[in-house]
Copies of this chain bind each other. A is one copy, B any other.
Amino acid sequence: MNELSPVAGGDALAFARILANDHVADIVEALNGEPHDVAAALLSEVPFERLVEIFDQPDLEAAPELAAMLPRLRAGKLLSAMSVDRAADVLRELDEPARSELLGTQAPALKATLLSILGYPEHSAASIMTTEYVSVPPDWTAGRTLDYIRKVERTRETIYAIYIVDPKTQELLRSVSLRRLIAGDPDDRIIDVALDRAPVSATPLTDREDVARQMSKYDLLAIPVVDNGRMLGIVTVDDIMDAMIEETTEDVHRFGGVEALDEPYMRASFLTMIRKRAGWLCVLFLSEMLTANAMQGYADELQKAIVLTLFIPLIMSSGGNSGSQATSLVLRALALGEIGLKDWWRVALRELPAGIVLGAILGAVGITRITLWQKIGLFDYGEHWMLVAATVGLALVGIVTFGSLAGSMLPFALKRIGFDPASASAPFVATLVDVTGLVIYFSVALVVLHGTLL
């Protein structure tokens, strides 16, 4: 593969050209396509300022590995020049002793900041915040603030939101957009230019998905992270967009019953792929074994009425499908904050009639199908075919109702016990509904076919 790549194939010129002309995001894309040693070799030729730009891109996949491959001194310089949130990201994924070594090279203040960011749990607002924002005291004028912004602009992640902070207590008082600042009179006090309302803020432990929701609701470009009134940092919209894309990927994977892959599908190793999938697959397989137990319990009935087995896959899958529908609806409503944990009973009250109606529709279709086949003579379901059809129809009502209820309640249950509601929900619902579905089917059969087939 090395031989085929334009970069690794000795043609470092091509990379030099990309490096000189392309957007840093494209350079990162090119680097992502190279093996680590080739990427590290290429990076050793890159001017320091450009190197900082490259490592500041969250899309650089092997950033921790590549940083560890740099000479210790250069890596230390790089880390202090990078934006603080990205530096924390790199350190977070770095193994010991490289992590401590690199942290040791940093100035005490930066080291303290990095350690405090690293101390926050993954996916929290504080874990993706940066401390490089613009803050000014309330008694400055708009003009003075603008001059100050011009001076510090290069070292701030965003200058479009300016925070008015009490210099003594670090309390966040107000925020002003650069837009308002520019439109206003330079002689006005900054606190008078600001909106007369406390800014929308997050706590350090707010989940990043909630931060995204706030940002989208209030159309913000940055949200301050505030702990008991004290301003700690900001989360910017570009980081939140990256986080949203990552969250969606995780949710889709979990929903499909895979442990979230944290690398692109085509780049994950074969072993990783098996590891991420085999776990859930085995858990589901073991739970699904209960269906075999259920079937064994009805072995006598099966022997007597073999015609019942013909509809088992059909009936079970309908329960699974209605469950998967309800799960996906509730999952999304929970994620969007449209409903909360306390609304479970409202949802149940909606899903119960919905399940009955949907089940009745499928039941009618099922009965029609059996009648049709029997009348046309495509298959003979025996002399009691009408009772068989009734069994299938009634069982469908019961199973689709149960599927809708179970499917809608599972995300609540998962969330209640502290799991991500998306975790393997669809396959889980299917398994749950399969086992219960069999019991419902045979129970209906025992009642309807009593005295005839059973």
Residue numbers of A with Cβ under 8 A of B are: 21, 23, 25, 59, 146, 149-150, 153-154, 159-160, 178-179, 182-183, 197, 200, 212, 215-219, 221, 237-238, 240-242, 244-245, 248-249, 251-253, 255-258, 261, 264-266, 270, 273-274, 277-278, 280-282, 284-286, 288-289, 291-292, 295-296, 299, 302-303, 306, 309-314, 316-318, 320-322, 324-325, 327-333, 336, 338-339, 343, 346-347, 350, 353-354, 357-358, 361-362, 365-366, 369, 379, 400, 426-427, 430-431, 434, 438
Closest chain B residue, CB of each to CB of A322:
B281
Q: How far is the CB of A178 from chain B (nearest CB, A)?
A: 7
**Chain A contact residues: over half helix, strand or loop, or mixed?**
helix
Name the distance in Å between A92's Cβ and chain B's nearest Cβ. 20
Give the residues in chain B near A284, CB-CB below 8 Å: 317-318, 321
Would B200 and A23 count as touching, CB distance under 8 A?
yes
- Checking B217, B258, B366 against A25 with a beta-carbon cut-off of 8 angstroms, the contacting residue is B217
Which of chain B's residues has its CB closest to A28's CB? B217
* Chain B residues whose CB sits within 8 angstroms of the CB of A265 once the complex forms: 329-330, 332-333, 338-339, 347
What is the CA–CA distance of A183 and B318 in the complex, to the nearest angstrom? 63
A289 touches B369 (CB 8 A): yes
Residues of B within 8 A of A255 (CB): 252, 255-256, 328, 426
CA distance in complex: A261, B321 (Å) = 17
Collect the chain B residues with CB atoms within 8 Å of residue A365's CB. Answer: 282, 285-286
Residue of B nearest to A178 (CB): B178
What 5 A-B pairs come out closest when comparing CB atoms?
A256-B328, A291-B313, A265-B333, A219-B238, A295-B310
Contact B252 A328 (CB under 8 A): yes
Cα-based distance from A113 to B336 in the complex (angstroms): 33
Q: How far is the CB of A217 from chain B (nearest CB, A)?
A: 5
Contact A281:B362 (CB < 8 A) given known A253-B332, A266-B343: yes
Decide: A309 and B314 in contact? CB cutoff 8 A. Answer: no
CB distance from A147 to the nearest CB of B (A): 10
Cβ contact of A313, chosen from B252, B312, B366, cutoff 8 A: B312
CB contacts (< 8 Å) of A286 on chain B: these are: 365
Which residues of chain B are within 8 angstroms of A21 by Cβ–Cβ distance? 197
CA distance A173 to B268 in the complex (A): 41
Complex CA gap A97/B99 in Å reads 67
- In the complex where A289-B369, A295-B309 touch, is A328 in contact with B257 (Cβ < 8 A)? yes
Complex interface: chain B residues within 8 A of A218 (CB): 23, 25
Residues of B close to A310: CB separation below 8 A: 292, 295-296, 299
Q: Which of A182, A256, A266, A366 has the most CB of B within 10 A?
A: A256
Check B182–A288 contact: CB distance below 8 A.
no
- Indicate if the CB atoms of B282 and A430 lie closer than 8 Å: no
Instruction: Kindly list chain B residues whose C-beta atoms are within 8 Å of the C-beta of A328.
Output: 252-253, 255-258
Q: Which of B274, B354, B434 contacts A358 (CB 8 A)?
A: B274
Contact partners of A249 in chain B: CB under 8 A: 332, 336
- Please measure, in the bound complex, the distance between the C-alpha atom of A349 and the C-alpha atom of B332, giving whole angstroms: 33
* Residues in chain B near residue A330, CB distance under 8 A: 265
Cβ of A253: which chain B residues have Cβ within 8 Å of it?
328-329, 332
A-B CB contact pairs (8 Å), 5 listed: A23-B200, A153-B179, A159-B179, A282-B362, A324-B426
Pair B281/A361 contact, Cβ less than 8 Å? yes
Q: Is the CB of B241 within 8 A of A216?
A: yes
Residues of B within 8 A of A291 (CB): 313-314, 317
| Chain B residues in 8 Å Cβ range of A438 | 313
Minimum CB distance partner of A337 in chain B: B264
- Shortest C-beta distance, A32 to chain B (Å), equals 10
Partner of A252, one of B149, B270, B331: B331
